[in-house]
Structure 1
Amino acid sequence: MEDKISTESRLAGHPTSAISDALDELGLPGALSGLSAQREGIGRVCGRALPVKFRRMADDPGAYRFGGGVGKPLEMVLKTMKGGDVVVMDLDGTRTASAWGGLASRLAQRRGVRATIMWGTCRDLEEIRAIGYPVWAVGVCPRRSRNEFTFGSINEPISINGVSIRPRDYIVADESGVVCVPRDRAEEVLALLQKIEAQERLLEQQVREDAVSSWDEV
């Protein structure tokens, strides 16, 4: 457990842009494009992926629950999530329905969940911002998701924009976006990050001093 915590902590010390560069150098797709932090000053989070997939199915009686609140598919997620998780939900990138809102954010925060990543929209944005819970999403939509989606899977691999996300992979998110670091390649990524960020520091110094002679000499 100590090794896992140490890896999480070390990854959390690096911006997503640098992590994405390291993943690119290793030929690993990891940047989840199209996702935005839902408030400014959100900071950086790092945790272990809890992958969730909802399937498109209109008017599924098994997903229906009256009114707002928590739909039955989301209830499965809320029962499973735990401290240290980053909930990563695949709703096929929909912009017409939201599976995550204020009540789910309050419960996740209480459980010690690090953040929620929505390949889809969220809702209750004012409430989410007021309690300070970190959410990344493709946008915002007030409409509930149970009209269009039903439960698909939880704690099984999912794929978002060509990036595979497995249970317990590392998720890092900040205002630049979201990256997934495969759990079995994290040490390679961390070793490469040291080299990349040393290069960045040298380039930054040269830029400040207007002394860049060649971009290839660092």
Structure 2
Amino acid sequence: MSDWTTDTELFALMRTELFSAVIGDVMDRMGLRHQFLPPYLAVLDRRMIIAGRAMTVLEADVFDEATDGARTPLMAKPFGLMFEALDSLGPDDVYICTGASPDYALWGGLMSTRALHLKAAGAVLDGYVRDSNEILELGLPVAARGCYAQDQAPRGKVLDYNVPLAIGRVRVEPGDIVFGDCDGVLCVPRDREREVVAAALDKVRGESAVRKALQEGMSTVEAFETFGIM
């Protein structure tokens, strides 16, 4: 019988029992060896845990906040489809954005306020955030390259959302699980999530037994031979 029946139960379980290293380990064993996003992405606070479903957002660089007469109507629209993308967030969604140069912030305090109201699980930005003190006060889990206050308004626009993305070597599909903590951010493909999470729970519970055995004096050689975990 599964440990969860709903997404709410699943993500609560992941936040409570799992961590990025153990999820990454079990995916390695399943042949899913390129699921960690680049190591420059880090949570704003080491205690933050992101666990939810990807609401993917594609950003692109531009050179004016609004350009009249362009062939693409989005060029005349400040921020492109950013507001629509943000408003599309649902409970347990993670706003995950890439495509822009790392020259400006992709997320800020007002966006965090809206995301919290929509009960989103957090945000992952392949770029920078600003209003970081406000985000920390709000408590929304956010991972990014770092903090940099330069505004996106005249520099970037959202072109589309809920479309496939690539961040580093990782393909992220809408609805995939995004998990992040102080050791990294990774993506669990939706069609493999049940076996990945079940295996990660087995491993982390097994590691508790190994830890207890080591504390009681068992050698690492004997522990690995006994439990098959290290």
TM bucket normalised to smaller: 0.7 to 0.9
Let me know the Cα RMSD of the aligned residues.
2.3
Please, which runs of 5 or more residues in structure 1 have no aligned partner?
A: 66-70
Give the conservation status (yes or no) of the 8 Å contact 2:130–2:149.
Answer: yes
Residue 123 (str. 1) matches residue 151 (str. 2): no
Q: Are 1:11 and 2:14 an aligned pair?
A: yes
Structure 1 residue corresponding to 2:216, chosen from 174, 190, 209: 209
Unaligned runs of 5+ in 2: 68-74
Asked if structure 2 preserves the Cα contact closer than 8 Å seen for 1:63 and 1:151, the reply is no
The aligned residue for residue 200 of structure 1 is: 207
Paired-residue identity, %: 25
The equivalent position to 1:140 in structure 2, one of 130, 144, 147, is 147
Q: Please state how far the C-alpha of 1:101 moved relative to its aligned partner.
A: 0.4
Answer yes or no: is the 8 Å Cα contact 2:104–2:127 preserved in 1. Answer: yes
TM-score norm. by structure 1 comes to 0.86
Q: What is the rounded CA distance, in whole Å, between the counterparts of 1:159 and 1:134 in structure 2?
A: 21
Preserved CA contact (<8 Å) 2:46 2:181: no
**Amino acid paired to 2:181:** D
Q: CA deviation at 1:216?
A: 3.6
Aligned partner of 1:21 in structure 2 is 25
- For 1:154 and 1:45, the matched residues in 2 are separated by 20
Q: CA deviation at 1:27?
A: 1.4
2:51 is the counterpart of 1:32:
no
CA change 1:63–1:2 in 2 (3 A) is farther
Contact persistence 1:55–1:150 (CA under 8 A): yes
Q: Given the alignment, which residue of 76, 79, 84 partners 2:87? A: 79
Tell me which amino acid in the other structure corresponds to 2:36: A
Tell me by how many angstroms 1:213 deviates: 4.2
Q: Secondary structure at the match of 1:19?
A: helix
Q: Which amino acid aligns with 2:28?
A: D
- Cα offset for 1:167? 0.8
Q: CA deviation at 1:63?
A: 6.2
Supply the AA of the counterpart residue of 1:147: P
TM (norm. structure 2) is: 0.82
CA distances 1:101-134 after superposition (whole Å, capped 9, x unpaired): 0110111111111100011110011111121121
Which protein has the larger Cα radius of gyration, Structure 1 or Structure 2? 2
Letter in 1 for 2:43: A
Name the SS for the 1:185 alignment partner: helix
C-alpha distance in 2 between matches for 1:198 and 1:39: 26
